[in-house]
Copies of this chain bind each other. A is one copy, B any other.
Amino acid sequence: MKLAILGTGMAGQTLAGKLADLGHEVRIGTRNVAETMAKTAPGPFGNPPFKSWKEQHPEIPLVTYAEAAAGGEIVFNATSGGASLEALRLAGEGNLGGKILVDIANPLDFSKGMPPSLSVCNTDSLAEQIQRAFPKAKVVKALNTVNALVMVNPKAVAGGDHHLLICGDDASAKSTATEFLKSNFGWKHIIDVGDITAARGTEMILPLWVRLMGALKTPMFNFKIVQ
Which residue numbers of A lie inside 8 Å of B, CB to CB? 112, 117-118, 121-123, 157-158, 161-162, 165, 167, 191-194, 198, 200-202, 204-205, 207-212, 214-216, 218, 220-227
Q: Which residue of B lies closest to A218 (CB)?
A: B227
Closest CB of chain B to A122's CB: distance in Å? 5
For A208, list chain B residues within 8 Å (CB).
165, 193, 198, 201-202, 204-205
Q: Which residue of B lies closest to A120 (CB)?
A: B122
Q: Which residue of B lies closest to A213 (CB)?
A: B193
* Contacting pair A212 B226 (CB below 8 A): no
Cβ-neighbour of A158 out of B118, B191, B214, B226 (below 8 A):
B226
For A158, list chain B residues within 8 Å (CB).
226-227
* Contacting pair A214 B194 (CB below 8 A): yes
For A198, list chain B residues within 8 Å (CB).
208, 211
Q: Which 5 A-B pairs have the closest CB atoms?
A: A201-B208, A158-B226, A201-B207, A193-B211, A204-B204
Complex CA gap A118/B201 in Å reads 11
For A216, list chain B residues within 8 Å (CB).
191, 225, 227
* Contacting pair A201 B210 (CB below 8 A): yes
For A210, list chain B residues within 8 Å (CB).
201
Complex CA gap A125/B60 in Å reads 44
Q: Which residue of B lies closest to A224 (CB)?
A: B224
* Contacting pair A121 B212 (CB below 8 A): no
Most interface-central of A117, A194, A211, A218 (chain B CB within 10 A) = A211
Complex CA gap A21/B70 in Å reads 65
Complex CA gap A190/B175 in Å reads 35
Complex CA gap A162/B224 in Å reads 9
Complex CA gap A216/B193 in Å reads 9
* Contacting pair A200 B193 (CB below 8 A): no
For A222, list chain B residues within 8 Å (CB).
225-226
